[in-house]
Every structure is written in structure tokens, then in C-alpha cells.
């Protein structure tokens, strides 16, 4: 899910979904809210990044030098 989920919505449908307080958020505050809501749910991206880092670390430790992957 995109981090700009809320900001990409327009019209009455979008504004009817927001609370009155959310309608008063600055663009920066809205972006932070979106990241807080959606980024932690991206478990597979986090897992994939950790697996890549471990693989790269293992390649370095076995060869004694960094690999170009």
C-alpha cells in the first residue's frame, strides 16, 4: 500500500472518511501519520531487507572481502 494513500484521495468521499482533527493536519503531519499506519504493516519488505543484509554479511565473512551484488 502506498504511503500517499490518504493524500491521493480527493472529493467528498475522501473528506467524509477523515475525522475533523485529521482534516486540519499539515501535509507533513499527514505524511507522518501515513507512515505510522502503513509502513509497520510492510512486514515482507522488512524481512526481505534483513535477509539481503544477512546474505551480504555471510558472503563477506566467507570470502574475506565484500562482494559486488
Could you report the per-residue pLDDT of 2-34, keeping only the tens digit for each? 445 555 544 445 556 778 888 899 999 988 988
Three-state helix/strand/coil letters over the chain = CCCCCCCCCCHHHHHHHCCHHHHCCCHHHHHHHHHHHHHHHCHHHHHHHHHHHHHHHHHHHHHCCCCCC
Q: What are the two backbone dihedrals, phi and then psi, of residue 43, each rounded to the nearest 5 degrees?
A: -60, -40
Domain ranges of the chain: 11-63
Work out whether the CA dihedral 61, 63, 66, 69 comes out positive or negative.
negative
Kindly report whether the global pTM for this prediction surpasses the value 0.75: no
pLDDT per residue as tens digits for the range 47-67: 999 999 999 888 887 776 655
Residue 33 has phi, psi (to 5 degrees) of -60, -45
Amino acid at each position: 500500500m502506498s504511503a500517499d494513500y490518504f493524500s491521493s484521495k480527493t472529493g467528498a468521499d475522501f473528506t467524509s472518511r477523515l475525522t475533523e482533527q485529521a482534516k486540519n493536519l499539515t501535509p507533513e503531519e499527514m505524511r507522518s501519520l501515513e507512515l505510522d499506519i502503513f509502513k509497520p504493516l510492510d512486514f515482507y519488505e522488512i524481512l526481505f531487507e534483513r535477509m539481503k543484509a544477512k546474505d551480504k554479511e555471510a558472503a563477506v565473512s566467507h570470502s574475506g572481502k565484500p562482494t559486488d551484488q
